[in-house]
Amino acid sequence: MQWYQEEIARLEHTPVPPIKARPRVVFYGSSTFTRWPGLADCFPWVETINLGFGGSTLAACAWFYQRLVPQRQPDALFIYAGDNDLGDGRNAEEVVLFYDHLMASIRATLGNIPVVFVSIKLSPARLHLRPGIDYANACIRQRIAEAGPPHYYLDINPGMVDGRGYPRPALFEADGLHLSPEGYAVWQAEIGAQLTFLYPPKP
């Protein structure tokens, strides 16, 4: 976890507004959040705090959780991580265990706030990891279904694949891993719908 330390320290010391005029939603996870341009402007009816850090794994999210998240006092939490764990050679079962560990920490410190796990995305660069991605997603989805609200599973993949079930290249940068503007438009629509369900915008 040493190579994350500089970015974690930066996030740790980023000032947090003391007063919550709107529901405060923390986005916690990997570079898919970190690299999201104009994230705060995408969902203006809530207050967003972006705690993504580049290359983050679910293991790292669990490890650094206490340093980053509780002091932000979120009303809801969106999590995206897991594909980097698989990309580093961990198996799907380990990813699920890291999810369990992270959720236990969230419930112990923040109580029963809404937590939305965004499914591990299929990408052209990691299509060879699809069996592990599918299995990890299925296990986490089952856990969330058994727990019920306020646990939520947001399956991002149906809007990102073509009719044959393969990721659409236009939604990714040239590296086949990070999202393009078109990809972020899909995420904005899907996450926006989930946020609207949790916190309907006031007229």
Residue 65, amino acid: Y
Sign of the C-alpha dihedral computed for residues 55, 61, 62 and 65 taken in this order: positive
Q: How far is CA 60 from the centre of its chain?
A: 13
Which pLDDT does position 40 carry in this prediction? 87
pLDDT of residue 2: 66
Closest CA to 151 of 193, 188, 187, 104: 104
What pLDDT is recorded for position 117?
98
Whether the predicted pLDDT of 188 surpasses 70: yes
Residue 19 burial (CB count, 10 A): 5
Average pLDDT over the chain reads 94
Average pLDDT estimate for 132-151: 97
3-state SS of the chain is CHHHHHHHHHHHCCCCCCCCCCCEEEEEECHHHHCCCCHHHHCCCCEEEEEECCCCCHHHHHHHHHHHCHHHCCCEEEEECCHHHHHCCCCHHHHHHHHHHHHHHHHHHHCCCCEEEECCCCCHHHHHHHHHHHHHHHHHHHHHHHHCCCEEEECCHHHHECCCCCECHHHECCCCCCECHHHHHHHHHHHHHHHHHHCCCCC
Domains, the chain: 23-198 (3.40.50.1110)
Residue 200 backbone dihedrals phi, psi, to 5 degrees: -55, 130
pLDDT, tens digit (0-9, with 9 covering 90-100), for 111-124: 999 999 999 999 99
Which range (17-26, 71-80, 163-172, 184-193) has the least confidence? 17-26
Nearest-5° Cα angle at 120, 98 to 128: 105
pLDDT at 155 over 90: yes
CA 71 to chain centre: 19
Instruction: Give me the pLDDT at residue 17, please.
Output: 80
List Cβ<8 Å contacts ≥24 apart for 163-168. 166/122, 166/127, 167/121, 167/122, 167/123, 167/124, 167/127
Residue 65 has pLDDT above 80, yes or no: yes
Predicted local confidence at residue 23, as pLDDT: 96
Average pLDDT over residues 42-65: 94
Q: Which is more confident, 13 or 123?
A: 123
Count of all residues that appear for the chain in the document: 203
pLDDT of amino acid 202: 83
Quick one: pLDDT at residue 128?
Answer: 95
pLDDT at 46 over 70: yes
Name the percent of the chain lying above pLDDT 90: 86
